[in-house]
Amino acid sequence: MQTAVIKIQNLVVEYPAHSFNRKPTTAVKNLNLEICQGEVFGFLGPNGAGKTSTIQVLLGFYTAAQGSAFIFDIDVRETIARRRIGYLPEMTYYYKFLTAEELLRFYAKIFKIPSTEAGKRIANLLKLVELESAGKRLIKTYSKGMQQRIGIAQALINNPDLLILDEPTSGLDPLGRMKVREIIQRLKNEGKTVFFSSHELGEVETVCDRVAIIHQGELKSVGDVRSIVGQNHANLEKAFLDIIGYQTQPSL
């Protein structure tokens, strides 16, 4: 039996109504999911499907209305559950007046990593994300793809066992997406567990071991990519559209 790094049980996420006579909005409905150690797991769904809400619960940013979630068998409501996590949000903001090296050293101090060890990690991470030649440049001079890669580096500064990425290739050009894909593959080779949400189904089909498809807060399908594609006799994009019930309009 593989070890479950993430375990989600009957999870319900609700947001309060904006007026007293309305019911709360249910973003996630009775979600059950397990992500195993060492796998790359894609969390898929249209906008508003409940992906980010689920991630916020896993990170302790939001409390579920019902159900439970565990990371390394520790309830996500406990702070200690997040010590082995690295996180990259969809919308990142960094102090643009810092260089990449200064940014990583700042995060290293947050994790109380000794200076000598921090220096080694920073050098290794800049090499991993292919920014070693740009480590002393101000982040404000970076392209979108470079900023995304330095974001992955900061998420790895504490050497986490689990990396959670929210739309890591959003807004990137094909080269940027390829570089992020290569980084994820290297992390998998190192035995890391990677859990990420994405709209880039081509990228998901390439790098993921398994995927879950969520729509309107409900889990619609989960399994390895090859099985889901095979069951629907299509590529992942077509299978995804079929599973969420999207009907293409006939051409005129």
- Give the Cα separation of 157 and 188 in Å (integer): 16
Cα–Cα distances in angstroms (integers) from residue 205 to residues 56, 71, 116, 228, in the given order: 24, 25, 39, 10
**If pLDDT is split at 50, 70 and 90, which confidence band does 223 have?**
very high
Domains of the chain: 1-84+161-247 (3.40.50.300), 90-159 (no CATH)
- Radius of gyration of the CA atoms of the chain, in A: 19
Cα torsion through 213, 219, 223, 224, rounded to 10: 10
Beta-carbon count within 10 A of 159 CB: 15
pLDDT number for residue 249 = 59
Work out the burial of residue 52: count CB atoms within 10 Å of its CB; fewer than 13 is exposed, 13-18 middle, 19 or more buried.
buried
Overall pTM surpassing 0.75 (yes/no): yes
State phi, psi for 179 to the nearest 5 degrees. -65, -40
Segment 76-96 shows an average pLDDT of: 85
